[in-house]
Structure 1
Amino acid sequence: MKFPFFASFVVVAIFFNISMRRVSRKEEAREAEFWQKEREANNVRKKSLENLDYIHIPIDILPFDTAGDNTTLKEAEKNVLELKDEKIVNLTGITNTDLKLEYGTANITELSKYDQNYTSLVCALQDWGKELYNLGRYEDSAKVLEFAVKTRSDVTATYKLLADMYRTKLGLNEEEIKRKIEGLIPIAKNLNSLSKKNILALLEN
């Protein structure tokens, strides 16, 4: 009775080893492709950054100078205002290698700064919009979060709060709610982020 068991074990072991070798070859191929791409990227000359999709903060539209004694609002407003003269670009989901291929190795530090500015912006906008929401200032909250979405933010909580306000807080009729929600979906579909699926799910359900 031991032989059939042993034979089955050997067969399983052989298939396992074959599968592992296949996985290993694929990993080696991917790694080789990555380093080849990286070598090519490191030889790309510096290119102009003037045509990047820069984000400009609409100072006249967002509810600045309305924080009163609320420290959370003050901090969020300050963090957003500190970025108003900075260069901000959403580079979410784009690797450094791809950035070097597109704009040249010499620009990678500058591009990383632009992307970090973007991350700081969407985090501050989310904090700002959430606190306004908590205070019942729904119209102001919507303005802040709608701007965040316009920049193609991938913060799931931003879309969740907006959808909730459209559905229950802003006194919209069914047609207006549908139009507002449907306006968010194309933006979500074009996100280059792991949170894309979750955002679409909460908007479409």
Structure 2
Amino acid sequence: MNLGFLASFITFSVLISYNVKKQARKNRSSEKDFWTRESQANSVRRKPLDNLNYVTIPLEKFPTHLMNENADVMECIGIVESLASRKTVNLTGWSNTDLKLEYGTANITVLSEYDQNYTLLVRTLQKWSDLLLESGYDKEASVLLEFAVSTNTDISRTYYQLADYWISQGESFRIERLIRIAEGLRSASKDSIIRHLRQKLKQSEKQFP
């Protein structure tokens, strides 16, 4: 057997074994940290929820008068109207452990409900916006998109469609504000949103110097 090949094979095997053991130690440490935090979280008593950033839905500003013959639009309007009377909070990026540590274990159910309401809200606003855009109601759709962004949604299409609308209106400079909002997101899609917005801004500056 070629001694050089054998030496390389042994070195490779040692490196693989080392990395596997290193990853296993890291996983055990992460798991231990998780259960330590979870144990601490489960002992936190209920705290007031007065300081939560509740979402107020400005129904009077939304284009509820448009496309009332469209069943999908009416469904969106109905959902948003029903959510207007419910407590809604954007808790994207918060784990259950984070929430229990911050607000107490007894609040986890109600907080999950608030977050589910928020998820339904921004998804419905996006669907409603899509329907309006498809029918040429760009300005009216932008009202929904701007509101969604103001709540720190992490739906990337919301940011991209609003950026495209502003570019079409000769107001590409407003994309800078979208980027600043995206920079504050607690979401896995944060970096992707920022990158695409910067690309749109750069392209618009080349097109309209």
TM-score, length-normalised on structure 2? 0.91
Give the equivalent residue in structure 1 for 2:29: 29
Alpha-carbon offset, residue 27 of structure 1: 0.8
Alpha-carbon offset, residue 45 of structure 1: 0.3
CA RMSD of aligned residues (A): 1.2
Give the equivalent residue in structure 2 for 1:50: 50
Q: Any stretches of 5+ residues in structure 2 without a counterpart?
A: 200-209
Deviations 1:18-66 (A, max 9, x none): 1111111111001000000000000000000111000010011111232
Give the equivalent residue in structure 2 for 1:41: 41
Q: Does 1:187 align with 2:199?
A: no
Give the equivalent residue in structure 2 for 1:132: 132
Q: Any stretches of 5+ residues in structure 1 without a counterpart?
A: none
Deviations 1:147-199 (A, max 9, x none): 0000101111111111111112xxx33xx331x21221111111111111221
1:153-192 equivalent positions in 2, closer than 5 A:
153-168=153-168, 172-173=169-170, 176-178=171-173, 180-192=174-186
Inter-partner Cα distance in structure 1 for 2:68 and 2:13? 69
Give the equivalent residue in structure 2 for 1:120: 120
Give the equivalent residue in structure 2 for 1:75: 75
Q: Does 1:199 align with 2:198?
A: no
Inter-partner Cα distance in structure 1 for 2:22 and 2:175? 45
Inter-partner Cα distance in structure 2 for 1:18 and 1:142? 54
Of all paired residues, the percent bearing the same amino acid is 44
Give the equivalent residue in structure 1 for 2:206: none
Inter-partner Cα distance in structure 1 for 2:54 and 2:5? 66
